[in-house]
Amino acid sequence: MTEHPGDTLPAPADPGPTPGALPAPRPEWSPWRAVVGFGVVSLAADMVYEGARSVTGPLLASLGASALLVGLVTGAGEALALLLRLPFGARVDRSGGYWRATISGYALTAVSVPALAVTPFLGTAGLAVGCLLVLAERIGKAVRSPAKSTLLAHAAGPVGLGRGFGVHKALDQIGAFAGPLLVAAVAGLTGALWPALLVLVVPGAAAIGLLLWLRRRTGDPHRLQALGDGVPAPAPPLRQAARELPRAFWTFAASAGLATAGLVTFGVISYHLVTGGMVSTAAVPLVYAAAMAAEAVAALATGWAHDRFGARTLLVLPVLVAAVPALAFSDSFGLVLVGVLVWGAATGLQDSTVKALVAQLVPHGRRATGYGVFAAVQGLAAVAGGALAGGLSARSVPALVAVVGVLQLGALVLLVRTLRAHRA
């Protein structure tokens, strides 16, 4: 029988992947699914470390720590979580191992937090081990944050960076709310802290399992860049990479630094609530939960507004920050509660929509470096702002309101300059 060309080369109905090519994401994993997937991972992980952080002080105290040691360890942990993002962000841009850094950071948290459950049984070594585990959890945060934010920005690009980061933050806050409640419930039932810490192994394992599943169904920015543009240029050393970041990024980082320095910490606000006789110590977590709810709502609302109206949505941030001390340090509980909700909204804006603009200002191959530098600026500003708020709030609230107002005026001017450069 004579064969025709069309008979000899039938088109396959489902051609297999080209050897060595990047596997295409499965059709069911749309960009929104990827964003929600990252959000659920953060939800589970937040249950772990926010649950532990709610009892870190009492745990270390039970192991023999003084108030000074508790303050030093927790303060050093927060500094490590922010400042170490600078070298880790630059490193992951050089290596392209975004997923490896993200998984490693989450794994360090998932292991170190439940391990705190064994410290009461280690005798005199328990305090030292407990302090090291608290610091290890914060280092895990520093390892994963720049890489995770880069992966999230990559996934959220098709649906809008503002909405993507907003939805992620809202899911994240559910975990931040549920973790302390879980720890409180287990500790109340058992009468001890170690079972409450041990149970956190469950959400920790869930976070790692979900992350590994998510990796198989989403893209890798480094590999996609290699396929689309050829082999991506290797990222330079940290100092050179920082110098190569756009001028608009540095202007925005300075603006965000001033906003962070002026945003009074909840620790100072809660101190005013308790010493002023407005609420009992046991009721402070309820006020904090209200702030977390406001944070989630603000992240969703400003994320949508960012994608709808542009980055000028961020102009509201200095206004919110400036309003916090005037409200939160008043003598009226109603005004203080409004101040707490405004504080939560400002915090949600800083941790979601701000990151969307960072992703827009920095080249794709330098996003992890940008997030690391940005976090370092915010970390230094937070230390200075905490000292400022703690000192002035006890001496003169009007002086604190005035200083924060001046800082936010500077933040607003720098933000306007950033937006003009961004539009250009």
Q: What is the DSSP annotation of 389-412?
A: HHHHHHH-HHHHHHHHHHHHHHHH
CA distances from 262 to 168, 323, 329 (A): 25, 10, 14
Residue 67 pLDDT exceeds 70:
no
Q: What whole-number distance in Å separates Cα of residue 406 and Cα of residue 322? A: 9
Q: What whole-number distance in Å separates Cα of residue 49 and Cα of residue 180? A: 9
Is 30-228's fold the same as 236-424's?
Answer: yes
Q: Where are the domains of the chain?
A: 30-228, 236-424
- Closest C-alpha among 142, 362, 138, 405 to residue 253: 362
**Tokens of residue 49, six digits:** 């470390």
Query: Among the listed ranges 70-79, 139-148, 249-258, 401-410, which one has the minimum average pLDDT value?
Result: 70-79
Domain 30-228, second-level architecture: Up-down Bundle (1.20)
Query: Among the listed ranges 40-44, 188-192, 330-334, 387-391, which one has the minimum average pLDDT value?
Result: 387-391
pLDDT tens digits for range 318-357: 999 999 999 988 888 889 999 989 998 998 888 788 888 8
Q: What whole-number distance in Å separates Cα of residue 343 and Cα of residue 292? A: 10
Residue 128 pLDDT exceeds 90:
yes
Q: Name which CATH class applies to 236-424.
A: mainly alpha
